[in-house]
Amino acid sequence: MKGRTFVKQKTFPTVIRNRMVRQLVLYISLLVSFSLQAQSEKAGITVNDSIQEDSVTTPKPSAFKRAIKKFMNFSDFDTLYISPNRYNYALMATHFSNFEYYSVTSEFPQPQKLSFSPNPHNKIGLYFGWRWIFLGWSVDIDDIYRKTNRKNKGTEFDLSLYSSKLGVDIFYRRTGNNYKIHKIRGFYDEIPSDYSEDFSGLKVDIKGLNLYYIFNNRKFSYPAAFSQSTNQRRNAGTFIAGFSISKHNLDFDYQQLPAYIQERMNPGMKVNKIKYTNANISFGYAYNWVFARNCLACLSLTPAIAYKASDVDAETQEGKAWYSKFNLDFLLRAGVVYNNGKYFVGTSFVGKNYNYHRNNFSLDNGFGTLQVYVGFNFHLRKEYRKKETKREY
């Protein structure tokens, strides 16, 4: 009897059950995928919200504010070229010598020139410094060694502030009547070259402000040469640009000149009073030369194109009149200093020159201050005290 193979047929309930299982697995898979997608979207929203919150709480400064902040950072310099002062205070003894001169010139009918200058004023003083500001008191040596006529004395005030980027000069000078005629040209050939005679007919009042900017301020230091608040370590130069305004009043009583000068004096030189305002734009160059360890020499020359508006009272047919003209002025700074960080000694000179010209009359005047000083720094700054303590250990 042949064998037979029997195939077990699925019943209807079994088929239904298997179909339900497959559908359940499909539903669960779809549910899990949707859940994961929702969680990822929620996470993305959370991250975006946090980023938006951070951007709101910490806004980025504008370019203008960043530029102002950088400009006002006066400690931003290259330490390979400039080292900062490690001390808060300084004490300095100094000697000042003030110089000035005035020259009156006329070209027609013949070239003539008169030059006047007083004896140099010498002062000694003691100054206390904080960072780059020095305040103190000075006395005239002439008052110590001999009696002087107070009527002949003038008033002098010079304040110079040096920082890494900006510099300011404020000056006021009111001269006395203790001038001397020390150079004459075009009057008499027999007048000797060393001619000198007292003249009390010249009085001058000058006041002004000078402001300038240092371009290469990360490598070049004016304070290293003139205020001892930093140390120049390597040679460096820079361009300098600035603006200045000043007022000049000059009373010239030529009738107090000797009679033989008045007789041959050109009419164009007979000016009684000059008042003019000087406004200039300057552009120059300065260089710091480190010629030995802790030794620095600085030289700076700044020419200026100056506009002068003046009120002139002259004994000529033109009488009292206003003039306006462009001229060339100069500002010179020079200094040599030794500074090892603790002790310093040096000398500096700051000189200003002004020129005034109109028709047949010219006035050249200049003044300067020569300073010799010695001093020391003290009271170490807090950030350097920690370094000194570490070195001791």
* pLDDT the model gives residue 185: 87
For residue 9, pLDDT over 80 is answered with no
Cis ω for the linkage preceding 109 (within 30 of 0): yes
Please list, in sequence order, all residues whose beta carbon lies within 8 angstroms of the beta carbon of residue 173, skipping any fewer than 6 positions away.
100, 154, 155, 156, 157, 204, 205, 206, 207, 367
How many angstroms from the chain centroid is the CA of residue 352? 16
Residues 155-209 have pLDDT tens digits of 788 888 888 899 999 999 887 667 899 888 888 776 776 788 889 888 889 999 9
Q: What angle do CA 315, 318, 323 make, to 5 degrees?
A: 105
For the segment 295-336, what is each residue's pLDDT rounded down to a tens digit? 999 999 999 999 888 776 655 545 555 556 788 899 999 999
pTM, full prediction:
0.78
The amino acid at 303: P
Between 351 and 359, the more confident residue is 351
Q: Give the span between the Cα atoms of 244 and 303, in whole angstroms.
A: 12
Exposed (0-12), middle (13-18) or buried (19+): which is 364, by Cβ within 10 Å? middle
Judged by average pLDDT, the poorest of 62-66, 177-181, 350-354 is: 62-66
CATH code for residues 88-392? 2.40.128
Range of 4-8, 49-53, 387-391 with top mean pLDDT: 387-391
CB 355 within 8 A of CB 364: yes
The structure tokens listed for 34 are: 């949707």
Is pLDDT of 39 > 80?
no
* Residue-range domain boundaries for the chain: 15-52, 88-392
More confident residue, 288 or 110: 288
Side chain identity, residue 10:
K
pLDDT in tens, 375-388: 999 999 888 886 65
* Separation CA 312–CA 337 (nearest Å): 44
What is the structure's pLDDT at 64? Answer: 65
- Residues 74, 70: Cα–Cα separation, whole Å: 8
Higher-confidence residue: 261 or 62? 261
Average pLDDT of the chain to the nearest whole number = 80
